[in-house]
């Protein structure tokens, strides 16, 4: 009986710790989401290291993005995606082609706003620890898909600045064996942005074919 009681107390303690950690991580992520939603616009710069031992991938790429409401303009690996909230244009430099689609049909994989709030849809979260990242105190939170069979990700670990409540780094493991380290190197709140930044102008891409989906 005493052994059963001790076992029960131990399990209860573990459950309380688990739920406390889960609440802590959710509270932190809620603060970050609230901050992002309160911004009228933002600008960021980032770099990513992609490794995959299966296909011998080892690439270091950089990018930047501008966001204003539901509009965005992002460049990554030499390509550009522009969205005015209704239409999205994916500009592929190597193909000299522009792919136009309805914004509500995009998966949002290169939408800077969704990258900065990746945890909001389809993930469970757990607080891991506090540590230093490049001399800055950060919260380390792990994300796992709620529906693993329907997700392209195996796991994600994110690093949230303790002082600014913003994403600093993400360590992503994909099902295809890729490991992506994503670092935010610059983040600017509410810069002055013209709406023309989020409109596609064919004159800026002479010789490109436009393919409408």
Our count of domains for the chain comes to 1
Longest dimension (CA), the chain: 81
Look at residue 26 and tell me if it is in a domain: yes
pLDDT for res 141: 94
List strand residue ranges (DSSP E) for 53-96, in order. 57-68, 71-76, 79-83, 87-92
Look at residue 7 and tell me if it is in a domain: yes
Look at residue 152 and tell me if it is in a domain: yes
Look at residue 88 and tell me if it is in a domain: no
pLDDT for res 54: 79
Q: What is the pTM of this model?
A: 0.81
pLDDT for res 110: 64
How many CA atoms lie less than 13 Å away from 122 in the CB half-sphere? 14
- In three-state secondary structure terms, 170 is strand
How many CA atoms lie less than 13 Å away from 97 in the CB half-sphere? 7
207 phi-psi bin (left φ>0, alpha ψ -120 to 50, beta other): left
Given a contact cutoff of 8 angstroms between Cβ atoms, the answer to whether 29 and 126 are in contact is no
Look at residue 103 and tell me if it is in a domain: no
pLDDT for res 213: 78
How far apart are the C-alpha atoms of 113 and 111, rounded to whole Å? 5
Mean pLDDT of 43-67: 86
pLDDT for res 3: 41
Look at residue 160 and tell me if it is in a domain: yes
Mean pLDDT of 87-116: 82
Look at residue 168 and tell me if it is in a domain: yes
Q: What token pair was written down for 39?
A: 């911004």
Q: What token pair was written down for 141?
A: 């939170």
For residue 149, the enclosing domain spans 2-68+113-212
Mean pLDDT of 102-111: 68
pLDDT for res 78: 80
Look at residue 99 and tell me if it is in a domain: no
How far apart are the C-alpha atoms of 190 and 79, rounded to whole Å? 24
- The predicted-structure confidence for 129-185, as pLDDT tens digits, reads as follows 999 999 999 999 999 998 888 888 899 999 999 999 999 999 989 888 889 898 999
pLDDT for res 8: 32
User: Is residue 109 very low, low, confident or very high in pLDDT (cuts 50, 70, 90)?
Assistant: low
CATH of the domain at 202: 2.50.20.10
pLDDT at 1 over 90: no
């Amino acid at each position: 009986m005493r052994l059963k009681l001790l076992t029960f107390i131990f399990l209860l303690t573990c459950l309380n710790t688990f739920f406390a950690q889960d609440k802590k991580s959710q509270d932190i992520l809620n603060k970050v989401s609230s901050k992002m939603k309160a911004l009228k616009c933002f600008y960021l710069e980032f770099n990513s290291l992609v490794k995959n031992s299966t296909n011998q991938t080892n690439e270091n790429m950089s990018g930047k993005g501008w966001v204003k409401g539901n509009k965005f303009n992002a460049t990554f690996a030499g390509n550009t995606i522009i969205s005015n909230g209704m239409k999205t244009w994916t500009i592929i430099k190597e193909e000299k082609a522009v792919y136009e689609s309805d914004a509500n049909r995009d998966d949002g994989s290169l939408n800077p706003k969704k990258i900065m709030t990746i945890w909001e849809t389809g993930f469970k979260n757990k607080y891991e620890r506090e540590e230093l990242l490049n001399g800055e105190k950060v919260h380390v939170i792990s994300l796992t898909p709620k529906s693993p069979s329907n997700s392209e990700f195996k796991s994600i670990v994110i690093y949230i600045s303790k002082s600014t409540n913003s994403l600093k780094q993400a360590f992503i493991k994909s099902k295809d064996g890729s490991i992506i380290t994503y670092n935010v190197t610059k983040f600017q709140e509410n810069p002055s942005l013209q709406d023309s930044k989020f409109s596609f102008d064919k004159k800026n891409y002479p010789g490109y074919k436009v393919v409408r989906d």
